[in-house]
């Protein structure tokens, strides 16, 4: 399996890693409400609210990254540059999650931007073939 596909797999796992703090925050709020979990999540504040936002953003970021990886794959655009961009995306998402949970908005925004650029560059990767 190629590095971009491994990065895609890791990014999918990160969606659910980001969900773990949400469950923890819900338990601290008087127990996990399995009957109405989304209603309980909507009431989270502070750390819990940031955790749910990070989890939801992970889905959004994954979609663009997956599209970029598949564009690169289907156009047979490969090499160290594509591998590096995919790895950088995963690193940016790890920093993003840590910064969101740690309430460091400037770092979070920068990490989000780096991840977005990685996804967009992967989508445009056929243009990079000659590089």
**Per-residue confidence (pLDDT) for residue 126, from 0 to 100:** 92
80-106 pLDDT, tens digit each: 999 999 999 999 999 999 999 999 999
**Per-residue confidence (pLDDT) for residue 131, from 0 to 100:** 62
Backbone torsion region of residue 2, taken as left when φ is above 0, otherwise alpha when ψ lies between -120 and 50, otherwise beta:
beta
Confidence check: pLDDT of 130 > 80: no
| Neighbouring residues of 32: CB distance < 8 A, sequence distance ≥ 6 | 23, 26, 40
φ/ψ of residue 45, rounded to 5: -130, 170
CATH value of 3-128 in 1.20.120.550, 1.10.150.120, 3.10.20.600, 1.10.760.10: 1.20.120.550
66-86 pLDDT, tens digit each: 999 999 999 998 889 999 999
The DSSP line for 64-104 is HHHHHHHHHHHTT--SHHHHHHHHHHHHHHHHHHHHHHTT-
Which residue, 82, 80, 107, is CA-closest to 94?
A: 107
User: Which three-class secondary structure state does DSSP give residue 35?
Assistant: coil
- Answer with the residue of higher pLDDT: 33 or 67: 67
Which residue, 67, 66, 119, is CA-closest to 92?
A: 119
38-68 pLDDT, tens digit each: 888 888 888 888 999 999 999 999 999 999 9
**Per-residue confidence (pLDDT) for residue 41, from 0 to 100:** 81
């Amino acid at each position: 399996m190629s590095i971009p596909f491994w990065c895609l797999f890791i990014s999918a796992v990160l969606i659910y890693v980001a969900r773990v703090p949400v469950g923890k925050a819900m338990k601290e709020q008087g127990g996990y409400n399995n009957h109405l979990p989304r209603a309980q999540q909507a009431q989270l504040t502070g750390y819990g609210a940031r955790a749910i936002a990070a989890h939801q953003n992970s889905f959004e970021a994954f979609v663009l990254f997956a599209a970029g990886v598949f564009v690169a794959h289907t156009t047979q655009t490969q090499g160290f540059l594509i591998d590096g961009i995919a790895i950088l995306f995963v690193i940016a998402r790890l920093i993003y999650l840590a910064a969101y949970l740690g309430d460091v908005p400037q770092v979070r925004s920068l990490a989000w931007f780096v991840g977005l650029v990685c996804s967009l560059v992967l989508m445009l990767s056929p243009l990079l073939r000659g590089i």
